[in-house]
Amino acid sequence: MRVKRLLGRHCWTMTAIAVFLYAAIRLAAIGWGYYENREALGEARDLWMEARPDAAWGGEFPVTVGVYAYGEDGHPERLPQPRSIFQPLLKLNPDIAGWIKLNGSRIDYPVVQGPDNEWYLHRNYKGEESRAGSIFMDFRNRPGAEERHTILYGHRMKDGTMFGDLKYYTEREYYDAHREFRLDTLYESYIAEVFSAYYTTTEFNYIETEFADDAAFGAFLEQIKRRSLYNGDMGISVQDRIVTLSTCDYLLDPVNGRFVVHARLKRAE
């Protein structure tokens, strides 16, 4: 009996050690993933800051380095040449589509655009596998086009990176103090003026990109204004263009819950 008890205790001890080691390895892997993500984003930020003084408009050329190398008719399109500020990043990845920066937050990242809305969920801005993924533009948006609605997605990482800081828009003081962020695309610079932030689920189609007419777009604007946690109406009209920031949130649904921030786009001076 004594031998059996000793063997039983030994088995429990070994099991506990195995569970502990597994958990430690998992935590170490997650921590390393966070570290790699921060390092990669730091490299991108360095390239971006080094290029900023040389930002300029270029001429026109057949777009072969971007997502839209070909038009709907299958023929190459001609778009304005991406500003030189983006050239270092485009050399790393032709899917680069812009840069987003929200002062007073960790949001200061490159924006990419893939062939669908899955590709960059778990790939960084260089196209490498990454648990944190990237900030990416909806594949239906067309860089360089005067679109009514641009959508950016990003994970809500537990270390606060990517779109993790969007959660602070639930606080009135933060909402009021962070009503603007900057969005640079390959062709333009914008100041985005926040007018709505709210919890939702994917049942609400807040990611519409095509509107039949002004009335349809106006109805959409009214819906997203009404849903806002706080009144941020600044006279949005159907003549405006907007950008949406979307991230996961688990308040309303553990799978399909989202937190959304909408802003009006105005060309930067």
pLDDT of residue 59: 37
Candidate list 117, 189, 248, 257, residue with the active-site label: 248
- Mean pLDDT over residues 138-164, rounded? 94
Give the pLDDT band (50/70/90) at residue 5: low
The whole-number pLDDT of residue 112 equals 98
Greater confidence (8 vs 123) lies with 123
Q: What is the pTM of this model?
A: 0.81
Mean pLDDT of the chain: 84
Judge whether 199 and 252 are in contact, CB under 8 Å.
yes
pLDDT at 249 over 80: yes
Q: What is the pLDDT of residue 153?
A: 99
The helix or strand, by DSSP H or E, that contains position 14, with its residue range, turns out to be helix 2-51
- For residue 27, pLDDT over 60 is answered with no
Lowest mean pLDDT among 75-79, 161-165, 210-214: 75-79
Residue 133: the pLDDT is 97
Which pLDDT does position 61 carry in this prediction? 34
* Res. 34 pLDDT band, cuts 50 70 90: low
Domains and CATH numbers, the chain: 2-52+82-267 (2.40.260.10)
Q: Return the SS3 of 194.
A: strand
Average pLDDT over residues 101-105: 96
Higher model confidence: residue 260 or residue 56?
Answer: 260
The confidence band for 38, taking pLDDT boundaries of 50, 70 and 90, is confident
Give the closest residue to 84 by CA, choosing from 113, 120, 59, 64: 59
Q: How confident is the model at residue 105 (pLDDT cuts 50, 70, 90)?
A: very high
What phi-psi label fits residue 136: left (phi over 0), alpha (psi between -120 and 50 degrees) or beta? beta
178-184 average pLDDT score: 97
What is d(CA 25, CA 16) in angstroms, rounded to the nearest whole number? 14
What one-letter code names the amino acid at 33? G
Cα pseudo-dihedral 92, 142, 221, 234, rounded to 10? 60
- The pLDDT value given to residue 252: 97
Q: Give the chain's count of helices (H) and strands (E).
A: 4, 10
Bridge partners (DSSP) of residue 241 are 265
Q: Side chain identity at 266, as an amino acid letter?
A: K
pLDDT of residue 50: 84
Averaged pLDDT, 108-115: 97
> Between 125 and 49, where is the model more confident?
125
Query: How far from each other are the two terminal CA atoms of the chain, in whole angstroms?
Result: 84
Catalytic residue list contains 248: yes
Kindly state the tokens that stand for 177.
């103090």
Sign of the CA dihedral running 154, 201, 196, 262: positive
What per-residue confidence (pLDDT) applies to 32?
40
